[in-house]
Amino acid sequence: MKGNSVAVIGAGAFGTALAMAFRQAGRDVTLWGRDAERMAVLDVQRDLDTVFPGTALPAGIRATADLGEAAAPAVIVMAVPTQALRQVGEALALVLPQGRAVISAAKGMEQRTGAFATEILAETLGAHRFGILSGPSFAADIARGLPTAISLAMAEAPDAEALAHFLSSPGLRLYHTTDIRGVEIGGAAKNVLAIAAGIVAGLDLGDSARAAMITRGFAELQRFARAFGARPETLMGLSGLGDLVLTASSPQSRNYGLGLLLGQGRSPREAIRSGKLAEGAFTAAILAESATARGLEMPIVDAVSAILEERLSVGDAVRHLMARPLKGE
Query: Which residues are the active-site residues?
Result: 190
Single-letter code of the amino acid located at 79: A
CA–CA dist 246, 264 (Å, integer): 21
Which is nearest to 95 in space by CA: 60, 64, 50, 137? Answer: 64
Which is nearest to 7 in space by CA: 97, 81, 90? Answer: 97
135: alpha, beta or left? (left if phi > 0; alpha if psi -120 to 50): left
CB 274 within 8 A of CB 266: yes
Cα–Cα–Cα angle for 116, 118, 124, rounded to 5 degrees: 105
CA–CA dist 241, 24 (Å, integer): 27
Which is nearest to 130 in space by CA: 151, 110, 154? Answer: 154
Q: At what angle do helices 180-202 and 299-308 cross, to 10 degrees?
A: 60
Element (H, E) at 116: none
Residues 6+ apart with CB under 8 A from 114: 286, 289, 290
CB 95 within 8 A of CB 125: no
Helical H segments across the chain, by residue range: 13-24, 36-45, 67-70, 82-93, 117-125, 139-143, 157-167, 180-202, 207-227, 232-235, 243-247, 254-263, 268-274, 280-293, 299-308, 314-322
Q: Give 102's strand partners.
A: 76, 130
- Compute the CA torsion angle 70, 74, 79, 81 (nearest 10 deg): 90
